Amino acid sequence: MASNFDFLKKVDNELFLIVEDGEKLFRDEYFNQAVVQFRIYAEKMAKKILNSDNKELTFDTVLNNLKDKIKTQREKEFIDDLFFIKKEGNACAHGEDATAIKTLEVIRHAFEAGINYAYAKNKDENIDKLIFDETLLITQKSEEKETLTNKYLEKLENESKETLIENLLNEKQGEFLSSVDKTTDENNIKDRNRISDPSQYKKTKRKKKELTPKELKIKEKIKEARKNIKENINKEEKPKPSKEKNKKQQNKNKKPTPKKERKSSKKNQDKDYGTIKALLFILFVIASVILLLKMMI
DSSP letter for 7, please: T
pLDDT for res 160: 56
pLDDT of residue 276: 84
Q: Which helix (H) or strand (E) element contains residue 33? A: helix 31-50
Give me the pLDDT at residue 230, please. 72
Query: Rounded to 10 degrees, what is the CA torsion of 196, 197, 198, 200?
Result: -130
Q: Tell me the C-alpha to C-alpha distance, in Å, between residue 161 and each of 56, 150, 164, 284.
A: 69, 16, 5, 135
Region 201-219: what's the mean pLDDT?
65
- pLDDT tens digit sequence for 269-293: 666 777 887 888 888 878 877 877 7
More confident residue, 161 or 16: 16
Residues 6 or more apart whose CB falls under 8 angstroms from that of 134 comprise 104, 143
pLDDT digits (tens, 9 = 90+) for 57-94: 899 999 999 999 989 999 999 999 999 999 999 999 88
For all residues of the chain together, what is the average pLDDT?
Answer: 76
124 burial via Cβ count (<10 Å: 0-12, 13-18, 19+)? middle
Give the integer Cα–Cα distance in Å for 76 and 67. 8
Residue 188 clears pLDDT 80, i.e. is over it: no
Contact 112, 77 (CB under 8 A): yes
Contact 49, 65 (CB under 8 A): no
| Predicted pLDDT at 233 | 66
Residues 6 or more apart in contact with residue 96 via CB below 8 angstroms: none
Asked if pLDDT for residue 148 goes beyond 70, the answer is no
Please report which confidence band the pLDDT of residue 227 belongs to, taking 50, 70 and 90 as the band edges. confident
Whether pLDDT at 107 is above 80: yes
| Euclidean distance between CA atoms 49 and 63, whole angstroms | 10
Q: Model confidence over 244-264: pLDDT tens digits?
A: 555 555 555 555 555 555 556
Cα–Cα distance measured from residue 232 to residue 71, given in angstroms and rounded to the nearest whole number: 98
pLDDT band at 163 (very low <50, low <70, confident <90, very high): low
pLDDT range class, residue 208, cuts 50, 70, 90 = low
